[in-house]
Structure 1
Amino acid sequence: MLRLFKLSLVLGLVSTISYASKIVSVGGSITETIVALGHGNQLIGVDLSSAYPKEITSKLPNVGYWLTLPQEGILSLKPEVVIVSSKAKPKKVIDTLTEYGIKTYIINDEPSLDSAKKKIKQVGEILGESEKATYIIARIENNVSKIKEEIKGKSKPKVLFLFSRGEGTIMAAGTETKPGVMINLAGGENVINLKQYTKISSESILEMNPDVIIVSNHAGESGLDENVVASTNAGKNKQIYAMDMLLISGFTVRMDSALQDLSCMFNNNKLSYCK
């Protein structure tokens, strides 16, 4: 009887972490993690922020934008499992998924290195890939440690990250946004002293005079005044870069690569790992 109880307990534990073959992922970094752990072929749907890797996500049905999820978008795909960012909204849509017999896992998704590692660990446990998750986390920790060592004592350039919300509206990332935290981790100083995203004008950019300007790869339609930008230190020294929005803001399995890219931008490619 005791052996039977132990066996039932083991089977119960296994069932709580087993993955299904029909997964919907909500959150670009979560989708990246699922693919990195070798389960891209189990995905049957993703949200709009899941743009990488394109060869997988572009072929999948879209369930809507992760901050305004329509319930029918997820339910129409009849998933067995939904793995969703803790930042996804509306909460009532996510909370009701279990009522339809859908296993729902809410994943920690804060703008920090610790949260990124926890995210990978959580998804690894759900998919039965804890060993692979541990390997990815170790790689990130090792690379981040090298980055910190190389930028130690170096001057911090003033950095501005911009992206477009369409119709000529330019937004700048504040200190507590994901790009803002990434800028700090990579050894830069954010010229925006507000915590969140804020609208910004070309005149304000000129006044702030950043040493480095990074634009998301969607900012080409923002209507940014190129003459004004060219008059900043960043423009004069050719320190204007484009970067994938998910890479700089996703805290994904590629965050060590993102931090390497950023730190190289901030140090004129003079670090040992710069291309």
Structure 2
Amino acid sequence: MRFALSFRAALAPMLGVLLAVAMQPATADEGTTVFADNSRIASIGGSITEIVYVLGEEGRLVARDSTSNYPEAAAKLPDVGYMRALSPEGVLSVNPTGILALQGSGPKEAVDVLKKSSVAFIEVPDRYDHEGTLEKIRVVGKALGVEAKAEKLVAETDAKLASAEKQTAAIKDRKRVLFVLSTQGGKILAAGSDTAADGIIRLAGAVNAVQGFSGYKSMTDEAIVSARPDVILTMTGGGPTISEAELFANPAVASTPAGVDRKMISMSGGYLLGFGPRTADAIRDLAVSLYGNQVQD
């Protein structure tokens, strides 16, 4: 009896640890590529939501983020917030069975919490080129268990992208384009390499006017003048709209070829920078705005 009592006493702490582990919620497998239950999906990222709709799988969506504003029907879904400022509580409040999130969603701390929750979390790569767009469609299709539908969309998108890229192949005088994200505080925040803006500028047959840094960076007046942009490209729908008057009131911008000719192009951010099913159309629209009738059908 004394041995039994001492054995129980020794075992008690171990049982406590095992019980505590057992009571912890199960964590999602970060290596998951297919949702075990795809009946209630939270879509984070405008291009992800758009792909789901084009695949005809929108009935699986129970929520979307604030960048998911196309197609218009997506606006009827609960909004869990901006994809780069997510709240784990907000995303999980819609009781999803899976979370489909575009790479770059954040903040990191929030995404880490979501990845450790019991809800399956699949991250979709976001590369700003032809192949990256096709990969995005494949990953979404596989996650939802509709790979055949996805491959059909991949083939259609591949052909459209190839056609759009060929439209500027013969143009020799390439425009230098400066993408301006914001002008808050009088500072020009421009897109460098490894950005969606840089990717779409290249696909449209132009040259990013700024080199030497990746991401978005505030530019000095000297750097703006040295960039010598022929065109300023801005977007709508992603924050305060940049007006032509405000942009060209900047002395540095005004002194560039774009400023002298007052050449500014503004396009919807989701359309221009989404890298989804509509990207071939965005490439053509941007190319036509840049080169007019030089663009070949």
Alignment pair present for 1:104 and 2:128 = no
Q: Which residue of 1 aligns with 2:291?
A: 267
- In 2, the alpha carbon distance for the partners of 1:58 and 1:190 equals 33
The TM-score normalised by the length of structure 2 is: 0.76
Larger radius of gyration: 2
Identity %: 32
- In 2, the alpha carbon distance for the partners of 1:79 and 1:165 equals 38
8 Å Cα contact 1:22/1:80 also seen in 2: yes
Which structure 1 residue ranges, 5 or more long, are not aligned?
1-15
SS in 2 for 1:78: coil
8 Å Cα contact 2:248/2:259 also seen in 1: no
Counterparts of 1:1-275 in structure 2, within 5 Å, are 16=34, 20-53=38-71, 55-97=72-114, 100-154=117-171, 155-164=173-182, 166-193=184-211, 194-200=213-219, 204-217=223-236, 218-220=240-242, 223-226=246-249, 228=251, 229=253, 232-237=256-261, 239-273=263-297
Deviations 1:138-180 (A, max 9, x none): 2222122223333224221111111227455431111221111
Query: Match of 2:279, as an amino acid?
Result: M
Which structure 2 residue ranges, 5 or more long, are not aligned?
1-33
SS in 2 for 1:267: helix
1:235 shift after superposition: 4.4
- In 2, the alpha carbon distance for the partners of 1:165 and 1:76 equals 36
8 Å Cα contact 1:18/1:128 also seen in 2: no
1:272 shift after superposition: 3.4
8 Å Cα contact 2:99/2:120 also seen in 1: yes
SS in 2 for 1:162: strand
Change in Cα spacing, 1:46 to 1:209, as seen in structure 2 (3 Å) is same
Question: How many matched pairs?
Answer: 258
8 Å Cα contact 2:230/2:256 also seen in 1: yes
1:269 shift after superposition: 3.8
Extract structure 1 runs of 4+ deviating beyond 6 A: none
8 Å Cα contact 1:150/1:271 also seen in 2: yes
- In 2, the alpha carbon distance for the partners of 1:151 and 1:236 equals 25
8 Å Cα contact 2:193/2:214 also seen in 1: yes
Change in Cα spacing, 1:146 to 1:100, as seen in structure 2 (3 Å) is closer
SS in 2 for 1:268: helix
1:190 shift after superposition: 0.9
8 Å Cα contact 2:176/2:206 also seen in 1: yes
8 Å Cα contact 1:163/1:219 also seen in 2: no
- In 1, the alpha carbon distance for the partners of 2:123 and 2:226 equals 42
The TM-score normalised by the length of structure 1 is: 0.81
1:22 shift after superposition: 1.9
Judge which range, 44-53 or 113-122, deviates more. Answer: 44-53
Judge which range, 21-30 or 97-106, deviates more. Answer: 97-106
- In 2, the alpha carbon distance for the partners of 1:179 and 1:186 equals 11
Query: Match of 1:271, as an amino acid?
Result: V
1:72 shift after superposition: 0.6
